[in-house]
Chains A and B, each alone.
Chain A
């Protein structure tokens, strides 16, 4: 990418985002994709005077990423979307749809964009569909 991309550790994410906000950046959105092995990569996009800056965070799929909604409230919608589509959890999310923004009922056990499925509870794990390896077109490989 031609724009500036900064890699950030998940533990330092909220601090880095707060610093970007102080610098006068507008929150644009998040892009999520499947990384290597069981990792999820999230790109945070910010804009200032039509110039983009991105933060890149890699996190294991079964670990919650801190929500940036305390800094940029508007991020709640896209963080909920990622919870639905990738199964990645966000801790401290201002408005949490509990993975029902788009999905409902038994669908919440499926993460359409990833091969793996994250169990929220042991009960969930028992009810899980067999590994969704047959789902077509999953990214990252």
Chain B
């Protein structure tokens, strides 16, 4: 049988970012898939060696817009661990709140794009309409909609006053109502199920074998979420990871949908238990030593390895983003699939190429 090579991406209607897949196809069935990267590589790890370690907070925020706050939080936590800085309790709660707002808007963005990938335009627009409200919450509380820039080494820049907390709770109630209204469509609609259920199945064993992370891992039945480590204020909140067992695209969308609702619950908990304290500790000295820090990004486990030598510049900053861990799975799940299912399956791992290439 004659094999055809089909280039998928880097520019493709369903891809928000440039990922290239070289697909070998026999009669519309994929036989091999090889990913190619390098379209948006910016050398940010190298830039982090040149900038002062305080300035690196702004550098890592630009690794990825969608989870900028969580990158900065992970970096600050790493430096705080190296310098043995005690972050004020209120700052930990504020970090938790903003990181969950980021998870919400990231998941809503993905759910919309996912609906778009199988042609459900109205669902895509409704989900993004809800996302705007979450971005409004970011803007009102931090001054920015996406790159919120609230983290500093030793705490956070901004605080919430009682009026803002009341307003946030009211807005979250409205968001929750609208999400639940769309839930029945997203989770039970015939079209959605037809295009996603049973597609791109990753078994529990394969998910573990390939080192998958985040919702992609949890949709295959493995209960692992870095929030279980209890960083920021997660150790003071009631939290259980969302897990599904089917391992297909439908399960991955269910995990993310349920995680949006879970994030609302976590923000409510954090707002009700928020401690009264300073929001920032003064930082003296320079970091020395090496450390590894992990947090849960919307797409999964984010790892920062830092080596510092007591100067103002870091010796090494290594960032392992969740998409970098999830891409190898595409080599295994795509072969045997119909070409028409490729966009849905590729999108189901929520690929973030800015994160991946850094």
Contacts and interface: CB of A to CB of B under 8 A. Distances in A.
Interface string A26-50: 1111011100000000010100001
Contact of A113 (B46, B289, B328): B46
Interface residues of A, number: 33
Given A1-B291, A29-B303, A137 B50 contact: yes
Contact of A139 (B38, B47, B211, B316): B316
A28 B324 contact: no
A33 B318 CA distance: 9
A45 B290 CA distance: 14
A74 B328 contact: yes
Nearest to A43: B305
Contact of A33 (B226, B228, B289, B315): B315
A103 B41 CA distance: 9
Q: Is the interface of B mostly helix, strand, loop or mixed?
A: mixed
Interface string B30-69: 0000111110010101110110000000000000000000
A102 B37 contact: yes
B338 interface: no
Interface of B: 34-38, 41, 43, 45-47, 49-50, 208-211, 224, 226, 228-229, 289-292, 294, 301, 303, 305, 307, 313, 315-316, 318, 320, 324-325, 327-329, 331, 357
Interface of A: 1-3, 26-29, 31-33, 43, 45, 50, 52, 54, 72-74, 76-78, 95, 101-104, 112-113, 136-140
14 contacts: A2-B291, A3-B292, A29-B325, A31-B305, A31-B316, A45-B303, A45-B305, A50-B224, A50-B228, A54-B292, A72-B211, A77-B35, A102-B37, A140-B316
